[in-house]
A and B are shown apart, each in its own frame.
Chain A
Amino acid sequence: MRPDGTDRPLALRPPAQVMRLDRLGALHPCRLSFARQLTRRIEVEGWRITRDAFALDETGRGYATYTADTGARCYALIVFGTPDGCSAVLIDGTADADDIQRLGVAIRGSETGRMTERELCLLQARRAPALWDHAVARLAAGQQRDAAAIDRTGILMHCDGVHGAGRFGTADRDLIADRPELRAPYQVELLALALLRLFARDMVAHLARVAGGARAARLAPALACRLGLGLSAGLGLARFPILHPCLFNTWIMAREDAIARVAALTGVRPEDWHKVSALLARLAQAVTAAHVALPAQKTRNAALVTDLARLAVHMGGGPSGDRPWAGLLAWAGRNLGLDGQEALASAVMEPYGDLVDGLGHCMADTHDRDYRIDGGASIGRMRALIAATHGWALDLDWAQHDRTALAWTMTDDAIGPLLGPRANAQRDGATPFELPLAVTRDAVRAWATLGHYPAEDPMALMLRDHPQHRGAIRRAQISGFAPYGEIRDNLIGADLRPVDLLRATLSFIGATDFDPACDRRLCVRVFAGAPYPGDLRPETADPWIYPGAVA
């Protein structure tokens, strides 16, 4: 039933509107983002976060352990510090001396098969010199860093590697996916990062104490709260939504459902309206102050700030109309750019946790690996499914060079995917090195082949003759129950910007401060503005993605 008490179905935005790369590349984190799901759970369930060991020398070499006790289980982060950064391992259970000894050796060993099923996530991080050295020096002298300096860099550590779910021998996700606290995506990785952020703060305090002795100051909680961890992601993460259509569908569908639920509200309290307006004002301040590398991003940020100012004026009159949020979202669709539209779409959920937070339970899906093709489905049905999703591409001239200018390849398992000229994937007129990420082109090819078969024939007959279309057929069948699983753009065109895919994924993870290094790499912060895990309170566990909202 809808929030307005009627039985009419919610009006979700159609996939053809939502699943465009430029819109996905404008998504903002929201209540459903996985980092927020984690901080909410930590607060609601009263997890105990403790520092159990901190044995580091004056250079930062040594180890520290932190434990998150959920009440039902414990997870421990063992951090091995070096003068430049650290490696850290999140393990299932508490850490004992044997674990510290064993993992201290393992993380220095070879890169393959060095973990056991007890290890859930491996992190590699380095100090961010722009802030680290100054923070240590100032604190050692008994002085605080000023807020502007902290905001300029915003991180004490930059995470270069976050490896879980079987990578480097860590535990398979299957082993832990049924645990309530880890069921939502990326909870293991985010818990490890949350504890690592704690370590970064403690490490700076430790080194300041080493240098300054009794006069050393501790970083003021309000300032420490502003600090996040730096992350940068490239093509490996960019392909994630392409590889996981079922899972990505659940993410987008949950968000769209949440937006639709709010839009359907008929009575909007003025204080909720003003809360959203205030949060967007904070976002505008943060975007204005953001230091970004690319001129194109500066231009885009300036446009967003302008849009948010227009939005603030428009919201100044308070809620109006039968369905005020629906009216506002429609106005934004007509008058704002995509960044502004999606910033508003995320923000309108904020006052309505009771209405939307439950959708967070619907954002994990295992069908991507387990879905089996129904070979009994008819050829005609398959053609219709492909046409419904990729109809826009069926009549395009795929012989045009620009349409297939790029190919995804790999040169080595350890390096991750590459995106380059098609010639890199070719040999002897074939493309043996191309990864199966050209979703639309492959769907169009399958659609054409299906046309040679009688519409009533079972799908399995075509697959027997043309196994090269198996991937496209599987995806087409998935699209029948996962309408937001497929991106409605060409993923091998000359104008592809993988950074759009990165932005979409990282916004769902809950990252902020999007700063593209180029069109294939995106730098972000995680947990910036969030209280530290042991300090979460009901009023602070949630709105922290809006800068200053919990300070």
Chain B
Amino acid sequence: MARQAARGAGLPWGLADEAGRAVRELCAAGVDGCAALAHLLGDLRARRHHSPAPAHLLDRVWAAPGGALCPIRTGTALSDMARALPPDGVGLVGVIRPILILPFAVDVARRLDATVTLSWHSGILSCGPDGVPPSDVIVRLALIRQTGLHLHPGGPNTPAAPRHGRARPDADAWAALVISAGRCFAPREDPG
């Protein structure tokens, strides 16, 4: 559903796949990834005239020309560039719905086979290759609409949260995803 909703919101299929995977990982860690994505898709629609992708991937600070970084665009770039990131980390300016970047931070940890640490104005969180850790900090991060982040290698290795087999999405968020997903379905042919 998350994948189709992202596609229905206009993301290319390759990014929609990434969005679906990020939501799945968050839900498996007990975080309502569906709500995060529903909010993100709404935010992106409101900012559709601004590119939400980082402009310069080889810099130490990533920012979007429009002032807001999409966590899916930014997260995939982090994952892609994991082995080429600056040794003291990378700053991310104005990430919207920053909770969605967490699964990509885990990707970076996996690529480096080492713990990485994500910090923002009111929190800090380390995650290792095993997955998203259990933490109250995550709950607070999920409430943040937009913030600057810093991701750098290192930090205490926290075991991953036990995996949840069932997502329990917020009903309104789920309904929003269903509507968005419907936009990638072709119109039915007229049987007559």
Q: Which residues of A contact B (CB under 8 A)?
A: 117, 171-172, 174-175, 369, 372-376, 409-413, 418, 420, 424-425, 432-433, 435-436, 458-461, 463-464, 467-474
**Docked-complex contact B14 and A411, CB < 8 angstroms:** no
Which one of B38-46, B74-82, B89-97, B118-126 contacts A? B74-82
Please name all residues of chain B whose beta carbon is closer than 8 Å to the beta carbon of A412 when the two chains form the complex.
185, 188
Q: Chain B contacts of A174 at CB under 8 A? A: 163
- Which residues of the other chain, A, contact B114 by a CB distance below 8 angstroms? none
Interface residues of B (CB under 8 A from A): 4, 11-15, 17-18, 21, 53-54, 57, 73, 76-77, 79-84, 107, 110-111, 163, 165-166, 181, 183-189
The residue in chain B whose Cβ has the minimal distance to the Cβ of A468 is B12
Given A411-B186, A464-B73: 18 more A-B contacts, CB < 8 Å: A372-B82, A372-B111, A374-B80, A376-B81, A412-B188, A413-B181, A418-B186, A420-B189, A458-B84, A461-B57, A463-B77, A464-B57, A464-B77, A467-B15, A467-B53, A470-B12, A471-B13, A473-B14
A-B contact count (CB 8 A): 96
Docked-complex contact B14 and A410, CB < 8 angstroms: no
Q: Which residue of B lies closest to A172 (CB)?
A: B165
Given contacts A369-B21, A463-B76, contact A458 B166 (CB under 8 A): no
Query: Which residue on A lies nearest to B181, using beta carbons?
Result: A413
26 contacts between A and B (CB under 8 A): A174-B163, A175-B165, A369-B21, A372-B110, A375-B79, A376-B80, A376-B81, A410-B185, A411-B187, A411-B188, A412-B185, A413-B185, A418-B186, A424-B186, A432-B184, A433-B184, A458-B81, A460-B80, A460-B81, A463-B77, A463-B80, A464-B73, A467-B53, A470-B18, A471-B12, A473-B14
How far apart are A372's CB and chain B's nearest CB, in angstroms?
5
Chain B residues in 8 Å Cβ range of A171: 165
A373 touches B186 (CB 8 A): no
Q: How far is the CA of A369 from the CA of B28 in the complex (A)?
A: 15
Query: Which residues of chain B are near A420, meaning CB under 8 Å?
Result: 189
Interface SS of chain B: helix, strand, loop or mixed? Answer: helix
Q: Are A460 and B57 in contact, CB atoms less than 8 angstroms apart?
A: yes
**Please, which residue of chain B has its CB at the minimum distance from the CB of A424?**
B186
In the assembled complex, the Cα of A385 lies from the Cα of B133 at a distance in Å of 36
Looking at the assembled complex, report how far the CB atom of A231 sits from the nearest CB atom of chain B, in whole angstroms. 27
- Leading 4 A-B pairs by shortest Cβ distance: A375-B80, A470-B14, A433-B186, A436-B13
Q: Select B73's contact among A372, A432, A467, beta carbons within 8 Å.
A: A467
What residues of B have a CB within 8 angstroms of the CB of A372 in the complex?
A: 79-80, 82, 107, 110-111
A198 to B171, CA, bound (A): 42
A433 in contact with B185 (CB, 8 Å): yes
Cross-chain contact B14 with A467 (CB below 8 angstroms): yes
Contact in complex: A373, B12 (CB < 8 Å): no
Contact (Cβ within 8 A) B185 A117: no
* The one of A432, A459, A471 that contacts B14, using a Cβ cutoff of 8 Å: A471
| Chain A residue, CB-CB nearest to B163 | A174
Query: Given B15, B17, B84, B188, which contacts A375 in the complex, CB threshold below 8 Å?
Result: B84
| A412: nearest chain-B partner, CB-CB | B185
Q: Could you tell me the distance between the alpha carbons of A459 and B57 in the complex, rounded to whole angstroms?
A: 11
Query: Across the interface, which residues of B come within 8 angstroms of A463, CB to CB?
Result: 76-77, 80
User: From B28, which residue of chain A is reached at the shortest CB distance?
Assistant: A174
Nearest chain B CB to A312 CB, angstrom units: 49
Report the bound CA distance from A209 to B57 in whole Å.
75
Let me know if B111 and A471 touch, CB within 8 A.
Answer: no
| A471 cross-chain contacts in B, Cβ below 8 A | 12-14, 17
Q: Which residue of B lies closest to A458 (CB)?
A: B84
Closest A residue to B55 using CB positions: A464
- B80 touching A459 by the CB < 8 A rule? yes
CB contacts (< 8 Å) of B12 on chain A: these are 467-468, 470-471
